[in-house]
Structure 1
Amino acid sequence: MVMISLKRAPPPHFITLRDLTGPQIGSLVQSALQFKHMCKVEGKTAHPDLPLKGQTLAIMFSKRSTRTRVATETAMAYLGGQGLFLSSQDIQLGVNESLRDTSQVVSSMCAGIMARVGAHREIEELAHYSSVPVINALSDTFHPTQILADLMTMHEVAVAERCPPGTLPHEVNFRDTLQGQRVAWVGDANNIVWEMMMAFPKLGVDLAVATPKGYDTPAVLRETAAGFAREHRTQVAYTQHPEEAIRDSHFIVTDTWVSMGQEAEKTKRLQDFKGYQITHDLINRSQPHKDWKFMHCLPRKQEEVDDAVFYSPQSLVFPEAENRKWTILAVLNALLVNKRY
């Protein structure tokens, strides 16, 4: 008697860049560069094959979003599918219905789930019970789609500065441009810098993290990043002095000091982060690389970075924001079309 198992292999999920190898991350960025070129240079405003025609992506967000929502819906449309936006007011995400039940129900009707949650355990639980790929659009620990966009932006800058005029970013190997780059993080220890720690060391990028006393990165994440750094001969350093982090850096990055849910701590945080605002004065006395650039995931507040830097020629914030679309498009194509990274 022949026994046939109906149990399927678990679908590929995109939870954090910690789980991907350097080549896998590079493959996603290279795909994003190709999609951007196809659309903006070749004029292909939709994928010629519309591989996701008739398919729906559930976009379940328990927190507000601008860039991630717009990027996800337009990326899904590019592939021929549609996004179904479900806010916390639309569905009972972990309120009157368990995450397990929500995951099983939604994944039975959709091709994938893009979820923006609070606690990281929520995205892990959704993925555990889902029969379709789950993509982390943000949790309180990791934000992988943002860091993919940062890496893509860094690559484009490096191509423009180092390669012969007319060289197109998608024609240059992504990993070749990042070797030896140094990134300075100045600000709160949050999901953005923690995701950087999971990715940058594997790609030849050194990272210097400046946070005030009492805002340290959890030891388990430091240990993981240190392991990646040892394996790939890169550096991840920590300091309480912004000047030390910025020195010799090619990219200076910050983010909000008061994340959603931390509003009650605002007065204390503004005092604790005194001296961390990114200004030309701070940058000049810190002696970064001569061709330094500034990045921010947005939305931005004045206390984190002043207008002179935010709107300066060195600022990459708007190309960085646009690249959210192309990297999310690459992730959707990898998981929903190719079924792999």
Structure 2
Amino acid sequence: MILKNAILKITGKKINMSDVAALKQLVEKHTALKQEIGKIIIGQNKAVDHILLSILSGGHSLLIGVPGLAKTLIVNTIAQTLGLDFKRIQFTPDLMPSDILGSEILDETNHFKFIKGPIFSNIILADEINRTPPKTQAALLEAMQERSVTVAGHHHTLAKPFFVLATQNPIEQEGTYPLPEAQLDRFMFSINLEYPTFNEEIEVVKTTTSDIKAVINPLLSANEINEFQHLIRRIPVADNVIEYAVKLVSKTRPNSINAPEIVNNYIDWGAGPRASQNLILAAKANAAVNGKYSPDIEDVQEVAYAILKHRIVKNYKAEAEGVTEKQVIESLF
């Protein structure tokens, strides 16, 4: 009762006591997941945290980094720990939309039969997504937003849960195509993978050059993940936290009422309403895995950079003066 009254005072909404028990279970499962992932993945704690937050929030993640930083391995390992159906799509310049979605073929009875593509899975690893032209990249748009695909005029619903975890090489490398803004906006998080520290790299070399293979155990099921996603959405949020998130996003829009000078000078386009939605969902998830029953402003700030940085477009002046997205976003807090 004390907990209910405290949440009611902060948010104006009560939290169900059964949800309190479920939140405790979520904290335990999250801790166990990180330990299991740590059997394979050394370092990259922030990246793993954000991927798990996006999954709990029902969002998608884009992992950016140079080759060799274990982007694919992270996704593969997380898929194993979640116990979900997993498909990997290697994006290449000659990949066609039908290679992702599937296609209709004429069977032996002269009737068209739909052959499902790899998109019909729980977790899709879109490997090196920016090595294929925009026409093929766009094949993911409907799936990522609507959780469905349309092929030859027929609507097909995807299984739940459904996540796209994409990897991307830096756009400065040869043979890459920049992702369209509409595609980028579908990703909840844009996650930069950094080089490991000296000690982490020593541990990586030790573990990957021995004959010992770690065994990954699935710790969750599809139904449990769906329940946790609904639980995250039921978490109450105080009005001032929602107002803070919306104001933070509005500050990224040049020449708006709240835009600071750094945004007006260096940004061409700011984030849209989907960023505000994702900020609150991710803040809820961040609060939940840390044992809190309602997110606060610190939870919003914790996830803000990874949610906003791929949604703001710098101008030529910013590029010329070396102003980064991180500098812009941190100035908004």
TM > 0.5 = no
The answer to which structure has the higher helix fraction is 2
TM-score normalized by the length of structure 2? 0.33
